[in-house]
């Protein structure tokens, strides 16, 4: 016969064992739920990843595909494409041969998934012997604004140039940037296409002089393009017949209809100099003109122009080719 002390000890043991078993069941139950939650979250993540990254060429409705910028200067031009399943969703699409999809470009594509400086990478796929990168779309490309009905002023050039120089200060070497790879939002944000022309995320601290010089030259070329509406680089072409030399011995020219300010001339000379400091370019007084400036009027005008080009009057239901009473 067990003593009361033994009974008490036995009861305490059973109580403790019961508590441990309950705790174990609770732990297992919560562990199972946690595991299930993680599995579900993983499936959702996989579905989201597949819905974004596994888009292929045939997933887009190419009846509505549009080129952004001039195809004459860009053989692998930037495209605006729409998904078949949801034509409200559009992507910016660029491509290159597989041999040109080098580690720097791959790194840039990955960087663009998280960096706010770029249009976000949405998909990467191969089609017809080329590598395609699809990026999220902003409101409009700078190329469409340049080709719009209104002429850009120096302050607008300063706005875009200052934004691009800010990207360079973050460590981006983008080479000879093209207007169709620069996108402008109504919120004033300027972003690069995630898969631009000669763009690579080389830290400025490790970049060689040639890369930094290419950056300065690229900013200068883009500034001239915005004013003259000519995408050609100044070293390769003589613009129009009406010219006004503003660079003296440098031979830089601008359209005679445009009278550049001394600050703009000095900014261009600094961009195109054989030797120069990128920090001097990024802090140039010319860029101060961007302080009270917006590209929204140009953005909206360019959008209307694109719509008119895509949907001429004869295609509008109920529209007549011959006005009534004519």
The CATH number that domain 57-136 falls under is 3.30.200.20
| pLDDT score for 40 | 40
The pLDDT, as a whole number, for residue 233 is 54
Is pLDDT of 6 > 70?
Answer: no
pLDDT score for 27:
40
pLDDT tens digits along 286-323:
998 876 667 777 777 766 666 555 544 334 344 334 33
pLDDT in tens, 125-164: 999 999 999 988 777 888 888 887 778 888 889 888 988 8
Helix H or strand E segment including 126: strand 121-127
Question: Which DSSP string corresponds to 56-91?
Answer: -GGGB-GGG-EEES-TTT-TT-EEEEEBSS-TT-EE
Output the DSSP codes for 169-230.
Answer: HTT-B--S--GGGEEE-TTS-EEE-TT-TT-B---TTT--HHHHHHHHHHHHHHHHHHHH--
Does this model's pTM top 0.85? My answer is: no
Residue 237 pLDDT level (bands cut at 50, 70, 90) = very low
- Residue 284's pLDDT is 92
Confidence of residue 176 (pLDDT cuts 50, 70, 90): low
Locate 151 and state its tokens: 């002429």
160 to each of 27, 132, 177, 275, 311, how far by Cα in Å? 57, 27, 12, 23, 30
CB 276 within 8 A of CB 216: yes
Taking residues 185-206, report their average pLDDT: 72
Answer positive or negative: Cα dihedral of 175, 166, 201, 95: negative
Domains 57-136 and 140-304 share a fold: no
- Summarize the confidence of residues 265-270 as an average pLDDT: 89
Domain boundaries, the chain: 57-136, 140-304
**What is the spatial distance between Cα 321 and Cα 182, in angstroms, rounded to a whole number?**
37
According to the model, what pLDDT value does residue 32 have?
39
Sheet containing 121-127, strands listed edge to edge, beginning at the edge strand earlier in sequence: 66-68, 78-82, 90-96, 130-136, 121-127
Q: Is pLDDT at 218 greater than 60 in this prediction?
A: yes
pLDDT at 35 over 70: no
Higher-confidence position of 213 and 64: 64
Q: Is the domain 140-304 a CATH 1.10.510.10 member?
A: yes
Q: For residue 60, what pLDDT is reported?
A: 92
Q: Give 219-229 pLDDT, tens digit per residue.
A: 888 898 888 88
Task: State percent of the chain over pLDDT 90.
Answer: 4
């Amino acid at each position: 016969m067990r003593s009361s002390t033994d009974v008490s000890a036995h009861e305490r043991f059973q109580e403790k064992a019961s508590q441990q078993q309950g705790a174990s069941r609770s732990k297992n139950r919560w562990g199972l739920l946690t595991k299930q939650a993680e599995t579900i979250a993983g499936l959702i993540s996989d579905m989201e990843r597949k819905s974004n990254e596994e888009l292929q060429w045939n997933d887009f409705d190419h009846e509505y595909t549009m080129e952004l910028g001039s195809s004459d200067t860009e053989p692998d031009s930037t495209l605006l494409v729409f998904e078949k399943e949801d034509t409200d969703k559009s992507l910016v699409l660029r491509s290159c041969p597989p041999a040109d999809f080098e580690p720097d470009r791959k790194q840039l594509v990955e960087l663009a998934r998280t960096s706010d400086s770029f249009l976000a990478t949405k998909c990467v796929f191969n089609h017809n012997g080329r590598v395609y990168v699809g990026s999220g779309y902003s409101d409009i490309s700078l190329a469409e604004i340049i080709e719009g009905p209104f002429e850009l002023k120096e302050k607008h050039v300063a706005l875009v140039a200052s934004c691009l120089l800010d990207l360079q200060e973050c460590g981006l070497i983008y080479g000879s940037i093209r207007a169709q790879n620069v996108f402008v939002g109504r919120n004033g944000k300027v972003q690069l296409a995630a898969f631009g022309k000669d763009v690579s995320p080389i830290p400025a601290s490790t970049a060689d002089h040639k890369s930094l010089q290419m950056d300065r030259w690229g900013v200068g070329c883009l500034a001239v393009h915005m004013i003259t509406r000519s995408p050609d680089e100044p070293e390769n072409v003589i613009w129009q017949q009406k010219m006004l030399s503003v660079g003296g011995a440098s031979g830089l020219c601008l359209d005679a209809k445009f009278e550049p300010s001394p600050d703009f001339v000095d900014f261009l000379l600094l961009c195109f100099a054989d030797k120069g400091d990128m920090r001097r370019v990024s802090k140039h007084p010319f860029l101060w003109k961007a302080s009270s400036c917006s590209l929204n009027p140009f953005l909206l005008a360019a959008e209307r122009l694109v719509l008119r080009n895509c949907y001429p009057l004869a295609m509008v239901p109920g529209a007549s080719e011959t006005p009534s009473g004519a």
